[in-house]
Amino acid sequence: FWLIKFKQSPVKAGMMPNTSSQITNNKEKQRILNIPPVLKPDSTDANNVYYTLRAQTGMTQLVSGEKTKTYGYNGPFLGPTIRVERGQNIHIHTQNRLKQATSFHWHGAILDDSSDGGPHQTVAAGQNKLISFKVNQPAATLWYHPHAVGSTASQVYNGLAGFLLVDDQNSRQLKLPRNYGKDDFPIVVQDRSFDKNNQLDYKKIVSSNGTLGNTLLINGTQNPYIETTTKYVRLRLLNGSNAREYTFKLDDRSSFYQISTDGGFLKKPVQENKITLAPGERAEIVVDLGHYSQGSQVKLKSADSNILTMKVKNNHDGETKLPRQLTNLQTVTKSGQKVTQNIALSDMGHMVSINNRQFSMNRIDLKVKQNTTQVWKIRNKNNMMGEIHPFHIHGVQFRLLSINNNASPSNMHGWKDTIMTRPGNQYKILIKFTQTGVFMYHCHNLEHEEAGMMGQIRVVP
Binding at 445: pick from Cu ion, ligand C2O, none (beta carbon under 5-8 Å per type): Cu ion
Binding at 443: pick from ligand C2O, Cu ion, none (beta carbon under 5-8 Å per type): Cu ion
User: Given candidates 268, 301, 394, 399, which one binds ligand C2O under the rule CB under 6 A?
Assistant: 394
Nearer to Cu ion, 301 or 389 (CB): 389
Residues 332-361, interacting with Cu ion (CB under 5 A): none
State in angstroms the smallest separation of the CB of 147 from Cu ion. 16
- 8 Å CB contact between 42 and 50: yes
State in angstroms the smallest separation of the CB of 382 from Cu ion. 9
- The reply to whether 33 sits near ligand C2O by the rule CB under 6 A is no
State in angstroms the smallest separation of the CB of 394 from ligand C2O. 6
- The reply to whether 105 sits near ligand C2O by the rule CB under 6 A is yes
User: Given candidates 389, 416, 422, 428, which one binds Cu ion under the rule CB under 5 A?
Assistant: 389
Please identify, among the stretches 1-9, 137-145, 269-277, 441-449, the one whose residues bind Cu ion according to the rule CB under 5 A.
441-449
State in angstroms the smallest separation of the CB of 129 from ligand C2O. 18
Could you give the string, one character per residue 413-452, with x where binding to ligand C2O holds by CB under 6 A and - elsewhere?
A: ---------------------------x-x-x--------
Binding at 389: pick from Cu ion, ligand C2O, none (beta carbon under 5-8 Å per type): Cu ion
User: Given candidates 448, 451, 452, 459, which one binds Cu ion under the rule CB under 5 A?
Assistant: 448
Nearer to ligand C2O, 39 or 443 (CB): 443
Q: What are the angstrom distances between the C-alpha of 281 and each of 173, 240, 260, 419?
A: 25, 8, 11, 8
User: Given candidates 147, 236, 282, 301, which one binds ligand C2O under the rule CB under 6 A?
Assistant: 147
State in angstroms the smallest separation of the CB of 361 from ligand C2O. 14
State in angstroms the smallest separation of the CB of 118 from ligand C2O. 6
State in angstroms the smallest separation of the CB of 441 from ligand C2O. 8
- The reply to whether 389 sits near ligand C2O by the rule CB under 6 A is no
Binding at 448: pick from ligand C2O, Cu ion, none (beta carbon under 5-8 Å per type): Cu ion
Distance CA 388, CA 422 (A): 5
Distance CA 287, CA 232 (A): 6
Binding at 413: pick from ligand C2O, Cu ion, none (beta carbon under 5-8 Å per type): none
Interface with ligand C2O (CB under 6 A):
105, 107, 145, 147, 280, 392, 394, 440, 442, 444
Interface with Cu ion (CB under 5 A) = 389, 443, 445, 448
